[in-house]
Amino acid sequence: METLHSVNPHWRESLRQRMKQFYETSETYKGLLAHHDETYQQTYVELVNHYVLPGSRILDVGCGNGISAMLLNRLGHDVVGTDISPLFLKEAQKWENERLKYRICDVLELPFDKESFDVVSSSELIEHLPDVEMALSEMIRMARRGGRIIISGPNLCSPLMPFLDLIRMIFGKPGRPIWAETKRQALLNTLKNATLYFQKRFSREPQFLYREPDLNDCAIGGDADSAYCAHPIDLEKFFRLRGLQIVKRCVGFGLKGRIMSTCFPHLSLYISMVVQK
């Protein structure tokens, strides 16, 4: 996982345009999103619904095929689902009603009035962004005072993820494309991510690290197209420095998930953070 510790502004803008074009045109990637069905989205929807009031006005940013926004609407919420790709949202238009709308827009430039929503939420979005700080700032701008921001997605810098890959390969199971294709790569990424954890843990400022995503149309999934090496410590520090309250560092589902989220929230394989403005 090659990271870019200092991001050149020209690289960032170029990447933003390349990613936008990729998501707007890739039928292959749209096919991968077909697996994000109601069952796949259920955990995220339950997370959001648990931490919001009944009948909340929710902005579901980067909603992909729109199913998560539709499910939140079914639970009685007033929802606006957004995505950068008209291709991904093409079929979602048929679900629209008075309390469910879809908008094609970039999370880096949301076209809504400030403090327009009770809740701003996203699932598996932040790791695909070329400028996470700008996106988080936009989410804060959209949330009303007392409103909440809920973010979920893979913890790509957790040392547990490549360590588990290594254990699986030792017992003869296959590795993970891009991130742990060999035992050596899994071991090196375990050590690298452990080092990053301590660096981030004791840093005063968030350290947003980026990588060059794979944007060819032979998309293989597994976050090969991710640009931000996502880590919950970055998000927590960013929100705290801007005066927001961390309601929940990590939400666990199931017994193992609850133990991990309580004892090791920053090492969990998945980010599930709840923040209040």
Mean pLDDT score, 3-18: 82
Q: Are 84 and 115 in contact (CB under 8 A)?
A: no
Q: Are 276 and 146 in contact (CB under 8 A)?
A: yes
What is residue 197's predicted lDDT score, i.e. its pLDDT? 96
Tell me whether residue 24 is in a domain: yes
Mean pLDDT of the chain: 93
Tell me whether residue 173 is in a domain: no
Q: What is the pTM of this model?
A: 0.95
CATH number, domain of 242, equals 3.40.50.150
What is residue 146's predicted lDDT score, i.e. its pLDDT? 97
The domain total for the chain is 1
User: Does residue 255 surpass a pLDDT of 60?
Assistant: yes
What would the pLDDT profile of 129-158 be if each residue is shown by its tens digit?
A: 999 999 999 999 999 999 999 999 999 999
| Cβ neighbours of residue 26 closer than 8 Å, sequence gap 6 or more | 87, 217, 219
Tell me whether residue 163 is in a domain: no
What is residue 5's predicted lDDT score, i.e. its pLDDT? 56
Tell me whether residue 222 is in a domain: no
What is residue 8's predicted lDDT score, i.e. its pLDDT? 82
User: Nearest CA to 134 among 65, 61, 192?
Assistant: 61
177 band by pLDDT with thresholds 50, 70 and 90 = confident
Mean pLDDT score, 5-9: 72
Residue with tokens 């996203």: 122
Tell me whether residue 176 is in a domain: no
Tell me whether residue 132 is in a domain: yes
Tell me whether residue 206 is in a domain: no
Backbone angles phi, psi at 203, to 5 degrees: -85, 145
DSSP letters spanning 28-43: HHHHHHTT--HHHHHH
What is residue 3's predicted lDDT score, i.e. its pLDDT? 64
Mean pLDDT score, 168-181: 92
220 band by pLDDT with thresholds 50, 70 and 90 = low
What is residue 260's predicted lDDT score, i.e. its pLDDT? 83
Q: Are 107 and 129 in contact (CB under 8 A)?
A: yes
Number of H helices, E strands in the chain: 9, 7
Domain that holds residue 86: 9-156+227-276
What is residue 86's predicted lDDT score, i.e. its pLDDT? 97
What is residue 4's predicted lDDT score, i.e. its pLDDT? 61
Tell me whether residue 4 is in a domain: no
Distance CA 10, CA 250 (A): 34
Backbone angles phi, psi at 170, to 5 degrees: -60, -35
